[in-house]
Amino acid sequence: MNTPVSFSKMNGIGNRIVVADLRGRADVVTEEAARALGHDPDTGFDQLMAIHDAGDENRDATIRIYNTDGSRAGACGNGTRCVVDWLHQRGGGNDFRFAVDGQPLSAKRLEDGRISVNMGVPRFDWTQIPLSEEFADTSGIELEVGPLGAPLLHTPAVANIGNPHCVFFAENDPDTYALDKFGPMLEHHMLFPDRANISIAQVTSPTTMKLRTWERGAGLTLACGSAACAAVVCAVRRELTERHVTVSLPGGDLDIEWRDDNFIIMTGTATHEFDGTFDPATGGWERA
């Protein structure tokens, strides 16, 4: 058996997160281990955030992100908040700089205990999302859900916030749509060669929005931070909201600001549940 890895089960407004400490080690969490942990009722997660050595004096750590199915993710804002809280509780300070999937990421723990994450600059070109065919305007692409000629949802906006996102804007409450039925199909739609996160957003005012997301590689989730960021920037592009929006998800609210310098700032909470150790090769685990 491999030397066990310490972990904490946490959540970011309901987004189920496992934070694993692999600093000082050469091994990584295998897909098998991630799937085993992800499907266990007690350790089940939407994302596993594996903290590795920084490899750069200008960073505090490198983070590898795994989805429930063992696949890799390029961003997880709720998970990043959990990492910041985890490091802070262990004397890591309040300001952090990470590398995630090769991209720089910064975050800060605020005086009120909430955590702000700079999610970077959104990408909108069809090649960056990516899409399998060209769309000159990605603020509304040709895609429908429902009967031909009378779709329930149509013309979603798409963006890349570290992960590919497809956002449908709806007049009705997102809870009234069967996202659990069509989410899996759209995640694997031929338009999305890298798959996509599928969201339904209802704009309730220029500064508020309700959101529900089928998360790529994880399924329905109580919260998806990068999806909240994608929904806001897409809403701004369509002149539906202002640039600073409170996004209400099933697990709670996130404060999203798309600043004038093009960076997206996401602010919210992180909650600790329990600690344990696991085998990074198999996923076998024990509670502390």
List active site positions.
76, 224
* Cβ-contact 43, 280 below 8 angstroms: no
* Cβ-contact 200, 168 below 8 angstroms: yes
CA angle 224, 228, 192 (to 5 degrees): 75
CA angle 85, 44, 78 (to 5 degrees): 35
How far apart are the C-alpha atoms of 16 and 224, rounded to whole Å?
Answer: 10
Residue of 189, 181, 188 lying closest to 200 (CA atoms): 181
Q: What is the DSSP letter of 240?
A: S
* Cβ-contact 52, 61 below 8 angstroms: yes
Which residues contact residue 244 at a Cβ distance below 8 angstroms, ignoring those fewer than 6 apart? 207, 255, 256, 257, 258
Residue of 67, 76, 2 lying closest to 35 (CA atoms): 67
Three-class secondary structure of residue 253 per DSSP: strand
Largest CA distance in the chain: 58
- Name the token pair of 215: 């998360």
